[in-house]
Amino acid sequence: MSDNNLKKIIIEPVTRVEGHGKVSLLLDEQNNVKQARLHIVEFRGFERFIVGRPYWEVPVLVQRLCGICPVSHHLAAAKAMDIIAGVDELTPTAEKMRRLMHYGQMFQSHALHFFHLCSPDLLFGFDADPAIRNVIGVARKFPELAVQGVMMRKYGQEIIKATAGKKIHGTGAIPGGINKNLSIEERDFLLKDIDQMVEWSIGAVNIAKDYTLKNVDLAKSFGTFDSNHLGLVREDGAMDLYHGNLRAVDKDGNKIFDQVNYKNYLDYIAEEVKDWSYMKFPFIKSIGPENGWYRVGPLSRVNICDFIDTPLAEKERQEFMAITGGKPNHMTLAYHWTRMIETLHSIEKIKELLNDPDLQGTDLVKIGKRRGEAVGLIEAPRGTLFHHYKVDEHDQVTMANLIVSTTNNNTPMNTAVQKVAEEHLSGKPEITEGLLNHIEVAIRAYDPCLSCATHAMGKMPLIVSLFDHKGELVDKKVKE
Amino acid sequence: MSEKMITFKIDGVEIKAKVGQTIMQAADEAGVYIPRLCYLKDLTPHGSCRVCTVKVNGRCQTACTEPAVDGAEVENKTEEIEGIRRDIVDMLFVEGNHFCMFCEKSGNCELQAEAYRLSICAPKFPYLFPARDLDGTHPDIFIDRNRCILCGRCVNASRDVDGKTVFEFVGRGSEKKVAVNADANLGDTNMAITDKAADVCPVGAIIKKRVGFAVPVGKRIYDEKPIGSDIEAKS
Ligand code: SF4
Ligand code: FES
């Protein structure tokens, strides 16, 4: 069987709106998994869509092209367009308003993922009856938890509304600054519930922590593999979700590079194209495509930082790092725990910001001398997000290159699927719902775009195809 | 010496008008709003968009160009007329590329505001997705023809107020577009940011550069009150 045949079988056009995850598994003659691949249809076309548009429009435009984390795209593009507009440092009010928006987004996105998408698996088990293993099941059995999830998400959205003007697809960040400050009424409205949010966030960390510690043997093996980790850190090594320099560490925590100004990302990172996937595979140049791939997102960010600058989250980070003796943790399931540590960090940051009088400042925008090229990076909920633009003398974009978080995690997600398939499927040519869900759990840990784009009931639309050693389709399961 | 007045009715309500006034002018002064897109006070009426269509003694006319006559019965807010207007606005939407979600004119756009006022939720005609070009050559003004509704305001303002003829229409029918004179780029003309023509576009086709989304959601012209509220407040 040639690779060409394989390619034809695997890459079927998938409707873009539905965003099914597609997994293809290839078996050898003993029915052992030889190869597992995850195909995600990515909206690469949007880069072309941006070309020609005036640069000041881009932060609002780009968020429409990905319905998943609009605020992250909004802010990454705005950071790039600050530089295009000739502004290297924002006013304190602008910088803090944007940070508030970003932490609000992080908080609501993480809360949604944890309570709605992943808690059914953790609370009921991966094999549990799908009829109860969903968000409705959680609401029945753990009603107060379901309420917390909804309220936390809503709180994050209120923050986005107060900073961007709307709960989704707002306009707050503009090149060189922000278009509004936080009124006293908005501030007081948000401060009202802040302590409750902190308390619930601590509770959520505990759920994820207890789960992981109780199932540590499973966590150690389930979709777990050594990898490099990449993300932004502040100049002093602290976690910084809004701005910083690039740091990458290897599986033992040794620094591959550190404090790299992200405008030079192309000197450090390249993307490999594979004929079976529309999505590219980024890797660290100095190591090469074979071993240079890396993970991003909550797990990586907690792994790479030296500390977290908010006390409650820092305490949790220390506890988390202790289980691997301070070395990077490679467990796929540990994404949940670290996601909740970040949730706690975000709400601590929000509290800090809400009490900062700079948010009521009136100096919102700066202007400078126009530049032709810029890079903007941000730590989106799912990981490092790269935006790179060129703008001509007519103020029109001539080039846009975006590396989204899910693309950064492409090889890791494929590796996780491969691991889970090898461990749970080898020798069993029939696909059960439980198996399907094991694969889904591994993918979902990374919170890829597709999982919440199409998620309503705690189910990820997924197609798994099983091919025998002759390349023939032996089984196919579609989960809507 | 007082001007000679006439009286006519809009939807049964008596309106007074000066001789020579259009139905639109008289209605505006009386606090009755007639939806419009190409008409702008102080510019020569162009009568091109037909959104101001009313029935005068049973016949469709454009209120912005039609003189008010003594004793006329004008229908403005009837179901039939609103239906006609809805179709016209709807066609303007599908004829161009109007992506309100990332258009900086959103909230300040008269086309969008008329659509809201007429309760248009989704277009009923198929989109044409025309290929239209952009012009970023002017240092302070940007043209996005995707959003042009051919209202003619820019043409008139440049000619009549600025005395410059920066804009003109070229082509016919669905190929018609607003061009910069002599097919040059805007950057090659003597258009200035202070020109009236830079201020009149009802949509986001002629915009001032770098303004973008500087006005937050909630503070834009039509965020609070629908288009026409200022006129209706006079009644
Ligand atoms: S550019 Fe604007 S003002 Fe000129 S015709 Fe088009 S819509 Fe009217
Ligand atoms: S407003 Fe009268 S025809 Fe356009």
Tell me the per-residue pLDDT of B95-109, one tens digit each, with 9 for 90 and over. Answer: 999 999 899 999 999
Instruction: Compute the average pLDDT of residues B60-84.
Output: 97
Ligand 2 centroid–CA B91 distance in Å is 15
Instruction: Compute the average pLDDT of residues A432-448.
Output: 76
Q: Tell whether A396 lies on the interface with B, counting CB pairs under 8 A.
A: yes
Residue spans per domain, chain B: 5-75, 88-208
Please report which confidence band the pLDDT of residue B222 belongs to, taking 50, 70 and 90 as the band edges. Answer: very high
Chain B closest CA to A96's CA: distance in Å? Answer: 17
Q: What is the DSSP letter of A222?
A: T
Q: Which residues contact A383 (CB under 8 A, 6 or more apart)?
A: A231, A295, A296, A297, A300, A301, A405, A406, A408, A409
Q: Which ligand is nearest to the CA of B46?
A: 2
Q: What is the DSSP letter of A118?
A: I
Chain B closest CA to A195's CA: distance in Å? Answer: 28
Size of interface A-B (CB pairs under 8 A): 61
Ligand 1, atom 2: closest residue by C-alpha = B201
What is the CATH code for B5-75? 3.10.20.740
Please report which confidence band the pLDDT of residue A432 belongs to, taking 50, 70 and 90 as the band edges. Answer: confident
Chain B closest CA to A391's CA: distance in Å? Answer: 11
Q: Which residues contact A232 (CB under 8 A, 6 or more apart)?
A: A240, A241, A243, A244, A245, A246, A247, A262, A301, A377, A378, A379, A384
Cβ distance B216 to A179 less than 8 Å, yes or no, reads yes
Torsion, Cα A316 A322 A327 A332, to 10 degrees, reads: -60
Residue B150: Cβ-neighbour burial (10 angstroms; 0-12, 13-18, 19+): buried
Q: What is the phi/psi pair of residue A271, to 5°?
A: -120, 130
pLDDT given for residue A16 in this prediction:
27
Please report which confidence band the pLDDT of residue A123 belongs to, taking 50, 70 and 90 as the band edges. Answer: confident
Q: What is the DSSP letter of A54?
A: B
Maximum Cα interatomic distance, chain B, rounded to a whole number of Å: 56
In terms of pLDDT, which residue wins out, A466 or A152? A152
Q: Tell whether B224 lies on the interface with A, counting CB pairs under 8 A.
A: no
Among A241, A80, A100, residue whose Cα is nearest residue A181:
A100
pLDDT given for residue A66 in this prediction:
63
Sequence-distant contacts of B150-153: CB under 8 A, at least 24 apart: B150/B48, B150/B49, B150/B176, B150/B177, B150/B178, B151/B37, B151/B38, B151/B46, B151/B48, B151/B49, B151/B201, B151/B202, B152/B38, B152/B46, B152/B48, B153/B38, B153/B40, B153/B43, B153/B46, B153/B200, B153/B201, B153/B202
Please report which confidence band the pLDDT of residue B52 belongs to, taking 50, 70 and 90 as the band edges. Answer: very high
Instruction: Compute the average pLDDT of residues A467-475.
Output: 77
Q: What is the DSSP letter of B135?
A: E
Please report which confidence band the pLDDT of residue A293 belongs to, taking 50, 70 and 90 as the band edges. Answer: very high
Instruction: Compute the average pLDDT of residues A243-247.
Output: 98
Residues of chain B contacting residue A60, judged by C-beta atoms under 8 Å apart: 102, 104, 212-213
pLDDT tens-place string over residues A3-54: 433 322 232 322 222 345 677 878 777 778 888 888 765 555 677 789 999 9
Give residue ranges with CB within 6 A of ligand 2.
B 36-39, 47-52, 62, 64
Could you tell me where in chain A the CATH 1.10.645.10 domains are found? 46-407
Query: Closest chain B residue to A59 measured between Cα atoms?
Result: B102
Q: What is the phi/psi pair of residue A338, to 5°?
A: -65, -35
- Label residues A84-121 b or e (16+ Cβ within 10 Å = b): bbebeebbebbbbbbbbbbbbbbbbbbbbbbbbbbbbb
- Of B39, B74, B84, B156, the one to substitute when testing ligand 2's pocket (max ligand atoms within 8 A of C-beta) is B39
Distance CA A37, CA A21 (A): 10
Instruction: Compute the average pLDDT of residues A234-245.
Output: 98
Please report which confidence band the pLDDT of residue A68 belongs to, taking 50, 70 and 90 as the band edges. Answer: low
Instruction: Map tokens 């899910």 to a residue.
Output: A406
Cβ distance A395 to B104 less than 8 Å, yes or no, reads no
DSSP strand pairing (B59-62 vs B53-56): antiparallel
Instruction: Please state which of the ranges A46-50, A187-191, A217-221, B144-148 shows the lowest mean pLDDT.
Output: A46-50
Q: Tell whether B142 lies on the interface with A, counting CB pairs under 8 A.
A: yes
Closest residue to A396, CB basis, from B134, B213, B218: B134
Chain A closest CA to B33's CA: distance in Å? Answer: 30
pLDDT tens-place string over residues A364-395: 999 999 999 999 999 999 999 999 999 999 99
Instruction: Please state which of the ranges A39-53, A410-424, A452-466 shows the lowest mean pLDDT.
Output: A452-466
Task: Classify A341 as helix, strand or coil.
Answer: helix
Ligand 1 atom nearest to B150, measured from its CA: 5
pLDDT tens-place string over residues B131-190: 899 999 999 999 999 999 999 999 999 999 999 989 988 888 878 888 887 668 999 999
Q: Is A224 left (phi over 0), alpha (psi -120 to 50) or beta?
A: beta
Cβ distance A175 to B142 less than 8 Å, yes or no, reads no
| Residue A50 near residue A343 (C-beta atoms within 8 A) | no
Instruction: Compute the average pLDDT of residues A81-94.
Output: 98
Ligand 1 atom nearest to B155, measured from its CA: 4
The answer on pLDDT for A232 being more than 60 is yes
Q: Tell whether A176 lies on the interface with B, counting CB pairs under 8 A.
A: no
Instruction: Compute the average pLDDT of residues A260-273.
Output: 94
Closest residue to A170, CB basis, from B136, B214, B217: B217
Chain B closest CA to A172's CA: distance in Å? Answer: 7
Instruction: Compute the average pLDDT of residues B88-98.
Output: 94
Task: Provide the β-strand partners of residue A238.
Answer: A307
Extract the runs of DSSP E, i.e. beta strands, from A334-422.
373-380, 383-391, 397-403
Q: What one-letter code names the amino acid at B20?
A: G
Give residue ranges with CB within 6 A of ligand 1.
B 148-154, 178, 200-203, 205-206
Helical segments of A355-400, H only: none
Ligand 2 atom nearest to B47, measured from its CA: 3
Angle made by CA atoms A349, A355, A360, in degrees to the nearest 5 = 110
Ligand 2 atom nearest to B52, measured from its CA: 2
In chain B, helix, strand, coil percent, each to 5? 30, 20, 55
Distance CA A455, CA A68 (A): 11
Instruction: Compute the average pLDDT of residues A92-115.
Output: 95
Pick the CATH number of A46-407 from 1.20.1260.10, 1.10.645.10, 1.10.760.10, 3.40.50.720: 1.10.645.10
- Label residues A149-174 b or e (16+ Cβ within 10 Å = b): bbbbbebbbbbbbbbbbebebbbbbb
In terms of pLDDT, which residue wins out, A40 or A138? A138
The answer on pLDDT for A173 being more than 80 is yes
pLDDT given for residue A459 in this prediction:
46
Ligand 1 atom nearest to B147, measured from its CA: 7
Residues of chain A contacting residue B99, judged by C-beta atoms under 8 Å apart: 64
> What six digits make up the tokens of A249?
């560490």
* Cα separations in angstroms, B222 against A476, B55, B117, B199: 52, 28, 10, 17
Distance CA B224, CA B44 (A): 30
Residue A120 CA to chain centroid, in angstroms? 20
Residues 369-388 of A with CB under 8 A from B: none
Q: What is the overall mean pLDDT for chain B?
A: 93
pTM of the entire structure? 0.90
Cβ neighbours around A346 below 10 Å, total: 28
Pick the CATH number of B88-208 from 3.10.180.10, 3.40.50.720, 3.40.1010.10, 3.30.70.20: 3.30.70.20
DSSP strand pairing (A294-295 vs A228-233): parallel
Ligand 2 centroid–CA B34 distance in Å is 10
Q: Which residues contact A12 (CB under 8 A, 6 or more apart)?
A: A22
Q: What is the phi/psi pair of residue B169, to 5°?
A: -95, 140
> What six digits make up the tokens of A308?
């977290």
* Cα separations in angstroms, A104 against A87, A110, A184, A219: 24, 10, 18, 29
Cβ distance B134 to A52 less than 8 Å, yes or no, reads yes
In terms of pLDDT, which residue wins out, A2 or A204? A204
